Homo-oligomer: A and B are copies of this chain.
Amino acid sequence: MGVTSDPKSSAKSSQGNFFEDFSLGQEIVHATPRTLTAGDAAVYTALYGSRFVMSSSDAFARAVGLKAAPLDDLLVFHVVFGKTVADVSVNALANLGYAAGVFGAPVYAGDTLAVISTVIGLKENRDNRAGIVYVRSVGRNQRREMVVDYVRWVMVPKRDPHAPRPGAPPAAAVPELLEAVAAEALKVPAGFDRGGYDTVAAGGPHLWDAYRTGDRIDHLDGITIEEADHMTAARLYQNSARVHFNQHAERSGRFGRRIVYGGHVISIARALSFNGLANAFRIAAINGGRHVAPSFAGDTIYAWSEVLAKAALPGRADIGALRLRTVATKDRRADDFPGRGADGAYDPAVVLDFDYWALMPRQAAGD
């Protein structure tokens, strides 16, 4: 029987990968390279209202030695992430985590990004119905320079839960991941010159020297999510995960409604964090993140941040790194810094616990 005689047959569309389709060391070249433009930057601004100056002003970026305003680091991350969805996570039962994310070359309007993932871990579940797939994904620009390099792991169902996977990898095929990226691995954009950095234009007086480990900052404002907004975001990122777009299917799903892409909440929290972290001009690494609870349209997101650590950078007296934890809540102000209680349980309003390194200028003699 041919394709046309079987009403359920549709041999040319892809159902995505199942656990059996992955093998250790496998390299996946993801589809649809993407040229990012000033248009994408504008849509990103319209989605989050971010006021971090580096991505807002060509003039500012040039004054600190860059060739133009680079695109927002999280826009780059989301686009690179989006490319991996169709191959890695379109069937995922759960997005379990991400780590070891390092940002490389800044991305400028006109750069074309392409992404390759490598399977670095596989672990079948005890019930044989699914397994965890670990991939390291590397996004590169058209000059083959790394723009972001990170690891994530997802639980993927088996196509056939009754057939034990032949040659299933041993438990040892789980990669070891550090709790955080080492400060030495953080990359300062080439050519960055702190001399031209203007804190007034940047919107905040506090430089790296002024932050102390343990500082906590309420970012004060809240932003309500609309269905159109989170879908627009996921589409901009060409993220094809079904749960974000299809109300007809999700109506009978676990939550009865579309689920907001977790990265959308990260970007909202980052935009809110401008108030208190205005000089954290670049996300240099993503150490990890927990999406503690799903977010939905109608939720209002608040955020607060904590300084987990400070690091000087090798050979740089002009710039330092802050390891930050930004916690987002929904429908609850963050002015008392809700997080995990003494019992380790999260405040029920917490939706995100995000751990990253940001770069910030240091106080200069002339300041």
19 contacts between A and B (CB under 8 A): A12-B204, A12-B217, A29-B200, A31-B202, A32-B51, A32-B53, A37-B41, A37-B109, A38-B39, A39-B41, A42-B236, A45-B238, A46-B235, A57-B112, A221-B245, A222-B248, A224-B245, A226-B227, A226-B228
Is A193 part of the binding interface, using a Cβ–Cβ cutoff of 8 Å? no
Please measure, in the bound complex, the distance between the C-alpha atom of A86 and the C-alpha atom of B129, giving whole angstroms: 53
Chain A, residues 22-59, CB within 8 Å of chain B (1/0): the string is: 00000001011111011111110111111111001111
Q: A31–B123 Cα gap in the complex (Å)?
A: 49
Q: A3-B216, A60-B112, A229-B231 are in contact. List 17 more A-B contacts (CB 8 A).
A: A3-B214, A4-B216, A7-B337, A8-B336, A10-B216, A32-B51, A32-B53, A50-B238, A56-B238, A57-B114, A86-B203, A221-B246, A226-B226, A246-B300, A248-B302, A248-B331, A248-B332
Number of residues on chain A facing chain B (CB within 8 A): 99
B247–A224 touching, CB < 8 Å: yes
Chain B: CB-nearest residue to A273: B13
Q: Are A51 and B238 in contact (CB under 8 A)?
A: yes
Residue of B nearest to A220 (CB): B13
Measured between beta carbons, the chain B residues less than 8 angstroms from A218 are 10, 13
A117 on the B face (CB < 8 A): no
Q: How far is it, in angstroms, between the C-alpha of A186 and the C-alpha of B247 when the chains are bound? A: 38
From residue A72, how far is it (CB to closest CB) to chain B in Å?
A: 13
B40, A42: Cβ atoms closer than 8 Å: yes
Task: Select the stretch in A97-105, A131-139, A165-173, A275-283 that faces chain B.
Answer: A275-283
> What is the CB-to-nearest-CB distance from A109 to chain B, in angstroms, rounded to a whole number?
8
Q: Smallest CB–CB gap between A10 and chain B, Å?
A: 4
Tell yes or no: A188 within 8 A of B by CB: no
Using Cβ atoms and an 8 Å threshold, which residues of chain B touch A29?
Answer: 200-201
Residue-wise, chain A 194-228 has the 8 Å CB interface mask toward B (1 for contact) of 00000011111010001110111111111110111
Query: A41-B39, A42-B40, A226-B227 known; A33 and B12 CB under 8 Å?
Result: no
A240 and B14 CA atoms in complex are apart in Å by 38
Contacts of A48 in B (CB 8 A): 235
Provide the residues of chain B in CB contact with A298, threshold 8 Å: 247
CA distance A229 to B245 in the complex (A): 12
Min CB distance A266 to B, Å, is: 16
**Cα–Cα distance between A142 and B62 once the two chains are bound (Å):** 12
**Do A276 and B13 touch (CB < 8 A)?**
yes
Residues on B with C-beta less than 8 A from A47 are 232, 235
**Across the interface, do B217 and A245 meet the contact criterion of CB distance under 8 Å?**
no
A7 vs B226: C-alpha distance in the bound complex, in angstroms? 30
